[in-house]
């Protein structure tokens, strides 16, 4: 099995070597073991995803060292900020190019670290280019059934969470007949109702909603820990996805913010997570069993 491939590309100078190493570290590359002897030195850098690409001829204006990114504009801004600490402001405009479109369906900018060392950063127009193959969920709720467990306690919050969940489900293609709403007294009762609904096998996912506000006693921690444990245990033991939309906040103002005022709606987010998890489960279950014929 191939462990690594090394393409020898000597850096122009010791100073350029130091600049390139500092730049890569500032962008999040993982630094490996360095080595040095009487004639040369080297440093290993690891990227989360690595690829080997061979070219028969290099397009005009493209440097020999290219680094592919997923957020090119952010990388450009980060390098500009990094250069402010090591270069004069008037030099940056000549050393760091603007982001421009290429003839090979991508965008590119270059940074000159040394007269003999220029590094190019680029991003493909195809967002899936060189991405690892992964199973991901779709956000269509058509053909899925859901149960929502919500509470009567703190309804000024939980009703907002419920409306957020319903909004997400209906926007994603779920009909009214595909959604069952169950109201329980408080957050303590949510895991029990969720477990009963999951064990009925009538629903593809359970969405749990509630709100706990901190008081002056340890009651808050005791309730929250058991609610979280119960919902998680129900999901693990039944295999039915449970989306967690139980708020734990210090104040009523914080809860209102997380129920649709300033920080999004946790009920909406929980419903979207439920849809995605159902989709992922279905895709996994549809995968052919390669071992079946062995």
Candidate list 80, 105, 129, 219, residue with the active-site label: 219
Q: Is 219 a catalytic residue?
A: yes
Structural domains of the chain ordered from first start:
14-49+61-124 (3.10.180.10), 146-285 (3.40.50.960)
**Residue 157 contacts residue 211 (beta carbons within 8 Å):** yes
Per-residue pLDDT reduced to its tens digit, 2-37 = 556 666 677 778 888 888 888 888 888 888 788 888
Alpha-helix runs per DSSP H in 211-291: 219-238, 252-258, 266-286
**Inter-axis angle of helices 72-83 and 14-26, nearest 10:** 130
* Average pLDDT value for residue range 47-66: 75
Q: How many CB atoms lie within 10 A of CB 273?
A: 19
* Average pLDDT value for residue range 186-203: 96
Per-residue pLDDT reduced to its tens digit, 106-150 = 999 999 988 888 999 999 888 777 667 788 889 999 999 999 999
């Amino acid at each position: 099995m191939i462990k690594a491939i090394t393409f020898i590309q000597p850096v122009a100078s010791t100073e350029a070597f130091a600049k390139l190493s500092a730049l890569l570290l500032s962008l999040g590359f993982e630094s490996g073991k360095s080595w040095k002897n009487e004639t040369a030195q080297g440093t290993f850098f690891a990227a989360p995803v690595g690829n080997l690409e061979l070219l028969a001829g290099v397009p005009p204006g493209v440097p020999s060292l290219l680094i592919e990114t997923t957020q090119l504009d952010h990388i450009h801004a980060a390098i500009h900020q990094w250069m402010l600490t090591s270069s004069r402001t008037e030099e940056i405009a000549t050393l760091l190019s603007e982001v421009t479109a290429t003839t090979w369906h991508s965008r590119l900018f270059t940074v000159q670290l040394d007269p003999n060392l220029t590094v190019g950063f680029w991003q493909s127009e195809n967002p899936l280019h060189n991405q690892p193959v992964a199973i991901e969920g779709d956000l269509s709720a058509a053909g899925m059934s859901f149960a929502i467990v919500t509470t009567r306690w703190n309804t000024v919050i939980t009703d907002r969470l419920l409306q957020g969940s319903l909004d997400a489900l209906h926007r994603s293609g779920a009909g009214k007949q595909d959604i069952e709403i169950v109201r329980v007294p408080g957050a303590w009762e949510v895991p029990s109702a969720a477990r009963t609904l999951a064990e009925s096998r009538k629903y593809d996912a359970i969405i749990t909603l509630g709100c706990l506000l901190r008081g002056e006693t340890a009651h808050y921690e005791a309730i929250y820990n058991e609610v979280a444990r119960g919902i998680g245990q129900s999901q693990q033991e039944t295999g039915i996805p449970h989306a967690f939309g139980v708020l734990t906040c210090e104040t009523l103002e914080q809860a209102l913010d997380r129920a649709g005022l300033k920080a999004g709606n946790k009920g909406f987010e929980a419903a979207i997570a439920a849809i995605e998890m159902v989709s992922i489960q279905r895709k996994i279950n549809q995968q052919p069993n390669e071992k079946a014929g062995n």
